[in-house]
Chains A and B, each alone.
Chain A
Amino acid sequence: MGGVEKKKYERGAATNYITRNRARKKLQLSLPDFRRLCILKGIYPHEPKHKKKVNKGSTAPRTFYLLKDIKFLLHEPIVNKFREYKVFVRKLRKAYGKSEWSTVDRLKDNKPTYKLDHIVKERYPTFVDALRDLDDALSMCFLFSTFPRTGKCHVQTIQLCRRLAVEFLNYVIASRSLRKVGAVVFLSIKGIYYQAEVLGQPVTWITPYTFAHDHPTDVDYRVMATFTEFYTTLLGFVNFRLYQSLNLLYPPKIDGQADVELKPAEGKEYAMDSESYLEKLSALSSSLARVVAPTHEEEVELDEFPVEGTAEQMDARKKEQEALEKHKKLFEGLRFFLNREVPREPLAFVIRCFGGQVSWDKSLCIGATYDVSDPSITHQIVDRPQVQQQVVGRYYLQPQWVFDSVNAKLCLPVADYFPGVLLPPHLSPFVTEQEGDYIPPEKLKLLAMQRGEEPGDASEEEEEEEDSNDKEEEEEEDESEKEEEMKLKKLEEQKTQSNKALPVTVTAGKLRLEDKQRLEQEQQSEEKRLAIMMMKKREKYLYKKIMFGKKRKVREANKLAAKRKAHDAAVKEKKKSKKAQRA
């Protein structure tokens, strides 16, 4: 074959990758601009398989992008906008320097802007793709919507984030999609996690607790702002589509009736006209206007298809469906009242999601529908040590009850959640224990309740469990005793053997009972050990790694179990001592 011989790094992997700096030069962008472009276009670096080959023999740590990606960026219209913006900034600075205010105004009027619509469409060619990537977008929007409206980032961005977040919450309420099997709201020490099933896709997001942020200094807000810029665009389009799918108006309008009700009462006093809309929307208390007038029979009766399979399967499916339906209407018919010390938004959101009615103090937020004194209130959510004036006919509960009930998919017994009572642990609904994992006893109790056993039984069960545990322990002890016996026997054997050489006395042999099972087990384990010896080096490494992971898991589970046991014992001790004191 003819042709010029190619040099060492002019073919193969080296030509597929490009370093960040070279990519930046190729695009003629500054580093921040390049960063922004990568964020917006979703371009991420790649780790070449043979780094040294790609890095032309050097082992210096470098970031590599795929050359294809960079070529793809080359004809992105936004790149030109970046350059325009750079020119604009230069002009503006010059005008400021010369104090030419009219020029400044003119320039500001003609500030180059860009839209990200096409990028959203390009990155997410189908709607489902967009939904799959919604987690970070939502979390970021919720975070930004809690920022103070000063400094840090543009007020418009914050407002937009707030708007989009509220719109999404409203959608979730309207669609009742916060009903994914077994999951939903989790109060963690970081913030509140939510999970909703939107058109079949689980979407998880986290919101911080409503406190002022202590803004860290080692965080680059420009990067975050760039992400937010993209995420707001994405979320806006997603919201639009979601609202459309429910026949709701977008931007959302509060249902006429409710609107009229609200307006004369408190609208004016509470907020300016321009703001009151968003505020009302964020109250989450009123339903939204639809494009088509809502009919009472919204829910389309699911046609029953003849499903192949046994009757059991059918039954199971039906049961599941029913359970889902029931879960959806968990709070149907209940009327909640939120005291002012509880976090209003998450509670209102969750209660509304499950069909409950919710209200709060008028002065707390716009959109309160009934008063504290309303006799029809069934549950009042309170988060204070004790309630002075209790109204008869309603439960006073701590907010955890709502979340736990939602996660358990049933209204839990209220007794554990009265104000001032030591709360039962709040479990994560995201954990699905597999075999061999540690399951906290509370979870076991919960599972039992879900299966339809009485909560009263649970305590008995617990005791039973304890009993059974004791039995097991006893068994274990028995086993250990046996083992000890065996050991002793072995020792004796050895002794006899050692004694054999010197005195030639024959002692009467003891009848040894051989545990057949045990022998077999031992044999098997030895076989396994021998087989492991014969493994190839690579496979042995892998095997050892896997076994190490498994063993660690078991160890951790055991550790947790032991800890729990110790804790329970300590608690029992305390109780006993208290009882003793009382007596």
Chain B
Amino acid sequence: MGYGRSDSYRVATTTEKDEKESPKKADTKAEKKIKDMDDLKKEVPLTEHKMSVEEVCQKYSTDIVQGLTNAKAAEYLARDGPNALTPPPTTPEWVKFCRQLFGGFSILLWTGAILCFLAYAIQAATEDEPAGDNLYLGIVLSAVVIITGCFSYFQEAKSSKIMESFKNMVPQQALVIREGEKMQINAEEVVAGDLVEVKGGDRIPADLRIVSSHGCKVDNSSLTGESEPQTRSPDCTHDNPLETRNVAFFSTNCVEGTARGIVVCTGDRTVMGRIATLTSGLESGKTPIAKEIEHFIHLITGVAVFLGITFFILAVCLGYTWLEAVIFLIGIIVANVPEGLLATVTVCLTLTAKRMARKNCLVKNLEAVETLGSTSTICSDKTGTLTQNRMTVAHMWFDNQIHEADTTEDQSGASFDKSSETWLALARVAALCNRAQFKAAQDQLPILKRDVAGDASESALLKCIELSCGSVKQMREKNKKVAEIPFNSTNKYQLSVHETENEEDNRYLLVMKGAPERILDRCSTILIQGKEQPMDEEMKDAFQNAYMELGGLGERVLGFCHLLMPEDQYPKGFAFDCDDVNFTTENLCFVGLMSMIDPPRAAVPDAVGKCRSAGIKVIMVTGDHPITAKAIAKGVGIISEGNETVEDIASRLNIPVSQVNPRDAKACVIHGTDLKDLSQEQMDDILRNHTEIVFARTSPQQKLIIVEGCQRQVRHTQTDGAIVAVTGDGVNDSPALKKADIGVAMGISGSDVSKQAADMILLDDNFASIVTGVEEGRLIFDNLKKSIAYTLTSNIPEITPFLFFILVNIPLPLGTITILCIDLGTDMVPAISLAYEAAESDIMKRQPRNPTRDKLVNERLISIAYGQIGMIQALGGFFSYFVILAENGFLPSLLVGIRLNWDDRSNNDLEDSYGQQWTYEQRKIVEYTCHTAFFVSIVVVQWADVIICKTRRNSVFQQGMRNKILIFGLFEETALAAFLSYTPGMDVALRMYPLKPSWWFCAFPYSFLIFVYDEIRKLILRRNPGGWVEKETYY
């Protein structure tokens, strides 16, 4: 797999070269056959942003004023198809069903069933009255697979139904200009070359090259991860199409303003479409648990075939005919198939999936339940996952002091001193010089949850003021706005003039906010403790320091100032002219700074800490700027306290970056543009040598490369790659989500594409829920081991009777029906109950499991289950068998070699050890009573087995018996055994007979022996960590 991947990159780079040689041709022709995956992995091939508007018009033969002609539009529509994303090819329902029927474990059971039918066919062909056992067994096996298949199919169908509900079906409209007329059309009918108008609140209908714009801002967060809206203007500002200002992307949102643009790409050819296609084209590998089950099947098959062949040879040596030997062979192989295990595993996984769903982790694929448990690296997106995805005022600087605002989601954080006069002035400026406002009819909602019309930073200010100073609306009503200059990129400030609150006071209040350095330039005084003081050099230094400090935290800083305009120059009714500014905008009074950031979620730092103690590396991958990314990473503990990046060390030691040994820095922040130039080896080197990594400014394609890099990482010098989880919400994350071993999408803020690509969905968008997932995943892995150990153990007392029947010719001690009663009856509840077992030790304190070394089922587990406990169980079963036969007169010495006479229908006067004569029917009743007794004995020894399987290392006395489901299982198992034995009519239906009370107790000593034996084993294991016992028996 690894080779294939690196190859694909090589191919990708060569095609890139080809394209550079003939860029013109590539534009139109290559776009059509772009489906090629390698092509898709490259960066976006847009070039229109570098062309002039005229060139773009020419290219699409459109007109900047009139738009396309209707005929042309129809032609393009026919050529390019509708402007919509091709939905990913959905697997038909019957294929999904078949996958459940024939996937993984089911194969083993199907093989068993086919072998059974084969054996029956052989018997039917050779014998006059073939025993129906093999036929029944085959039918039961098939039934088990089909029922379990249906169960897991419906289970998954349920989760996918929840998925369906996420889809929003609202048809999009677009305003296009064709033949000079504005018309509202369905967004699907938009074609390349169309002139489109968008306004605040619209969704961009296709990739647009902006030709004119009025204060247009778009929210690109679903594409790049930047939480701040970006301004759009007709000028090309960057070579990278994703960064330039003159392109607006399909399915992003226009937040405010209006813009007009020419459609350059539609449907799947858009940037968003390419990502979606890339995502659906990626193949995700097998889940770790599927690999484990495969390994388990190999082991089980190995044991079965070994036993089968051995006894086949033995049978031939003992003088059986070839056909008989073949039937024995098949019988032994089939007897090794644990019939109940498929159902047990499925139910255990389903239970965990349900438990996780209750804790807000919705698992789409049952097998993915365990994957988080073995995860060793989590690549997390920043926006919306680690952070709240809303700008919030984090710090303020006034009275020459930095104040910290409360950024927590529930306003539980500390508050700052609000008594200062300066703060009131600052709040007034921030409230008045602000165009954001709450949308109507939200009074009952808490302030932080209310919807705001306006850009992100202004809403942040609005909410901050509303929270600390009460209604902004009232404040604005008291201070009526007289004039306003909106923000623009040349001025870098926003200004408004208001009446004062005091009706007596006829002065006007000028308030201004903007880039701090610009604001400072216009100020001559500064407000300290409510008093105006002249702005001296000392104050300017203090301002610079505060500005630098807040900027260094990755926050967006705004400066605020105001001025009460002198009444003599600006009397009441003065006509303020905002276009031709006829009033002073100099010599203002500086009030303070406010800085905003998208703050981390409250639960994230704790969750990151837990991941770290669980040995999981958390990597941040974001489209946002490095400084912001680093600040958030430090805030949530992805870069832990005291760890420095290369740049930090350089600035601390005052030496150039190149002189720092990269090995000294545990943390590192990597810029997307640097990432582009890294070779695979360099990439591996970074991932290996730094424990705390932040990738910033990454494109979706790079996210994919990062995930693949992480998957390549080898842990503990093993050959298998690491298991990587990726979290993300945006469309830009979806290729990485799909590629990861487990993709985790966000349920609330996540885009549909990302949810489709993910294996798991966090319904509350909270990174902390991942920790729950990890915990549950690890727990179910341990508990599955226990469950499997329990189920496999009873295989030995089920096979040995048949082996002895062949070898020493005794009457059959245990029949097929009774075996099925154990596997599909009494063993089920206890095996499932082990899924409810609590963890033995703190599973979040240990390293993630090593996929090559820590197997679900290993040789040690088989050796314990088959070789040790299973053997004792078989002894117990045989003991009751011999007791019953002896009580009826057949002493063990007589039994050896009696089989042919015993099973002979015509022999109706077989003599026992005391000379009593037995008819065939009488003999059979005794035999079936033995079957029942053997069955009951297995139930009795399985009591002890389920208790010892509760723990792998601890004593039962340490673990306790708090698992009530398990106790319930013990009761039910026994009750079922009693029912089967005593219910009238069972002798006809299942050939089970009532047992004398004393026969129940035959296996008790063996049950006790099992318990003591395993307790001693575990005691030695605990006493000598790393000793022989641990190496050989700790599964």
Q: Do A and B come from one complex?
A: no
Interface residues of A (CB under 8 A from B): none
